[in-house]
A and B are shown apart, each in its own frame.
Chain A
Amino acid sequence: MLVAVNVLSTCMFQIQFVLLISRQGKVRLTKWYSPYTQKERSKVILVYKRYASLYFCMCIDQDDNELEVLEIIHHFVEILDRYFGSVCELDLIFNFHKAYYVLDEILIAGELQESSKKTVARLIAAQDSLVETAKEQASSISNIIAQATK
Chain B
Amino acid sequence: MLYIFMLGYDVDFGHMEAVSLISAPKYPEKQVGYIVTSSLLNENHDFLRLAINTVRNDIIGRNETFQCLALTMVGNIGGREFAESLAPDVQKLLISSSCRPLVRKKAALCLLRLFRKNPDVVNVDGWSDRMAQLLDERDLGVLTSSMSLLVALVSNNHEAYWSCLPKCVKTLERLARNQDIPQEYTYYGIPSPWLQVKTMRALQYFPTVEDPNTRRSLFEVLQRILMGTDVVKNVNKNNASHAVLFEALALVMHLDAENEMMSQCVALLGKFIAVREPNIRYLGLENMTRMLMVTDVHDIIKRHQAQIITSLKDPDISIRRRALDLLYGMCDVSNAKDIVEELLQYLSTADFAMREELSLKAAILAEKFAPDLSWYVDVILQLIDKAGDFVSDDIWFRVVQFVTNNEDLQPYAAAKAREYLDKPAIHETMVKVSAYLLGEYSHLLARRPGCSPKEIFSAIHEKLPTVSTTTIPILLSTYAKILMHTQPPDPELQKHVWAIFSKYESCIDVEIQQRAIEYFALSSKGAALMDILAEMPKFPERQSALIKKAEVAEVDTAEQSAIKLRAQQHMTNALVVTDQHSLNGTPQSVGQLSLVKIPSISGDEHTSADQELSQANGTLATVDPQPPSADLLGDLLGPLAIEGLPGAAVLSEPNAVSGLEGVPIPADDAAAIVPVEKDTNSVQPIGNINERFYALCLKDSGVLYEDPNIQIGIKAEWRTQHGRLVLFLGNKNTFPLLSVQALILPPVHLKIELSLVPETIPPRAQVQCPLEVMNLHPSRDVAVLDFSYKCGTSMANVKLRLPAVLNKFLQPITVSAEEFFPKWRSLSGPPLKLQEVVRGVRSLSLIDMANIFTSFQLTVCQGLDPNPNNLIASTTFYSETIRPMLCLIRIETDPTDRTQLRITVASGDPTLTFELMEFIKEQLVGFPTAPRPPAPPAAPVAQPTNPAALTDPGDLLAGLL
Chain A residues proximal to chain B, CB less than 8 Å: 1, 9, 11-14, 26-33, 35, 62-63, 65-68, 70-72, 74-75, 96-97, 100-101, 104, 108-109, 111-119, 123, 126-127, 130-131, 134-135
The answer to whether A116 and B184 have CB atoms under 8 Å apart is: yes
Q: What B residues does A65 contact at CB under 8 A?
A: 197, 201, 243, 246-247
- Checking B28, B140, B754 against A116 with a beta-carbon cut-off of 8 angstroms, the contacting residue is B140
The answer to whether B236 and A71 have CB atoms under 8 Å apart is: yes
- Is B787 an interface position by the 8 A CB rule? no
Q: What B residues does A127 contact at CB under 8 A?
A: 27, 31, 65
- Checking A13, A72, A104, A134 against B72 with a beta-carbon cut-off of 8 angstroms, the contacting residue is A104
A116 CB to closest chain B CB, in angstroms?
4
Q: What B residues does A115 contact at CB under 8 A?
A: 140-141, 144, 185, 187, 192, 194-195
The answer to whether B243 and A97 have CB atoms under 8 Å apart is: no
- Is B560 an interface position by the 8 A CB rule? yes
Please tell me which stretch of B111-119, B586-594, B708-716, B899-907 contacts chain A, meaning at least 4 of its Cβ atoms lie within 8 angstroms of it.
B111-119
- Is B275 an interface position by the 8 A CB rule? no
- Is B958 an interface position by the 8 A CB rule? no
Add 10 more A-B contacts to A114-B144, A115-B140 (CB < 8 A): A9-B560, A104-B76, A113-B105, A113-B109, A113-B144, A115-B141, A115-B185, A115-B187, A115-B195, A134-B28
Q: What A residues does B39 contact at CB under 8 A?
A: 30-31, 100
Q: List 16 A-B contacts (CB under 8 A).
A: A13-B113, A27-B8, A33-B76, A62-B561, A63-B560, A65-B197, A67-B246, A67-B283, A70-B239, A71-B193, A71-B239, A108-B72, A109-B76, A109-B109, A127-B31, A134-B27
The answer to whether A71 and B243 have CB atoms under 8 Å apart is: yes
Report the separation of the CA atoms of residues A66 and B75 in the bound assembly, to the nearest whole angstrom.
Answer: 23
Q: What A residues does B507 contact at CB under 8 A?
A: none
Chain A, Cβ-Cβ closest to B114: A109
Report the separation of the CA atoms of residues A116 and B195 in the bound assembly, to the nearest whole angstrom.
Answer: 11
Chain B, Cβ-Cβ closest to A131: B28
Chain B, Cβ-Cβ closest to A123: B102
- Is B42 an interface position by the 8 A CB rule? yes
The answer to whether B193 and A68 have CB atoms under 8 Å apart is: yes
The answer to whether B184 and A117 have CB atoms under 8 Å apart is: yes
A-contact 0/1 string along B32-48, CB 8 Å cutoff: 10010011001110000
Q: What B residues does A67 contact at CB under 8 A?
A: 239-240, 242-243, 246, 279, 283
Interface size of B by CB at 8 A reads 63
Within 8 A of A (CB), among B138-155: 140-141, 144-145, 148
The answer to whether A112 and B194 have CB atoms under 8 Å apart is: yes
Q: What B residues does A12 contact at CB under 8 A?
A: 116
Q: What B residues does A117 contact at CB under 8 A?
A: 184
Within 8 A of A (CB), among B38-61: 38-39, 42-44
B329 CB to closest chain A CB, in angstroms?
17
Report the separation of the CA atoms of residues A111 and B182 in the bound assembly, to the nearest whole angstrom.
Answer: 21
Chain A, Cβ-Cβ closest to B200: A65
A41 CB to closest chain B CB, in angstroms?
14
Q: What B residues does A35 contact at CB under 8 A?
A: 42-44
- Is B6 an interface position by the 8 A CB rule? yes
The answer to whether A62 and B560 have CB atoms under 8 Å apart is: yes
Chain A, Cβ-Cβ closest to B75: A108
Q: What A residues does B201 contact at CB under 8 A?
A: 65
Chain A, Cβ-Cβ closest to B102: A123
Interchain residue pairs A-B with the least CB separation, the first 10: A67-B243, A63-B561, A109-B113, A108-B75, A108-B109, A35-B42, A68-B243, A111-B148, A118-B184, A116-B184
Report the separation of the CA atoms of residues A105 and B953 in the bound assembly, to the nearest whole angstrom.
Answer: 71
A55 CB to closest chain B CB, in angstroms?
15
Report the separation of the CA atoms of residues A13 and B117 in the bound assembly, to the nearest whole angstrom.
Answer: 9
A13-B116 contact in complex given A65-B197, A109-B110, A115-B140, C-beta closer than 8 Å: yes
Report the separation of the CA atoms of residues A117 and B185 in the bound assembly, to the nearest whole angstrom.
Answer: 8
Choose among A32, A108, A131 the residue with the greatest number of B CB atoms under 10 Å from its CB: A108
Chain B, Cβ-Cβ closest to A120: B141
- Is B703 an interface position by the 8 A CB rule? no
Report the separation of the CA atoms of residues A27 and B7 in the bound assembly, to the nearest whole angstrom.
Answer: 6
- Checking A63, A96, A113 against B106 with a beta-carbon cut-off of 8 angstroms, the contacting residue is A113
Q: What A residues does B8 contact at CB under 8 A?
A: 27
- Is B955 an interface position by the 8 A CB rule? no
Q: What A residues does B197 contact at CB under 8 A?
A: 65, 68
Q: What A residues does B7 contact at CB under 8 A?
A: 26-27
The answer to whether A63 and B243 have CB atoms under 8 Å apart is: no
The answer to whether B35 and A97 have CB atoms under 8 Å apart is: yes
Report the separation of the CA atoms of residues A32 and B76 in the bound assembly, to the nearest whole angstrom.
Answer: 8
- Is B2 an interface position by the 8 A CB rule? yes
- Is B562 an interface position by the 8 A CB rule? yes
B903 CB to closest chain A CB, in angstroms?
39
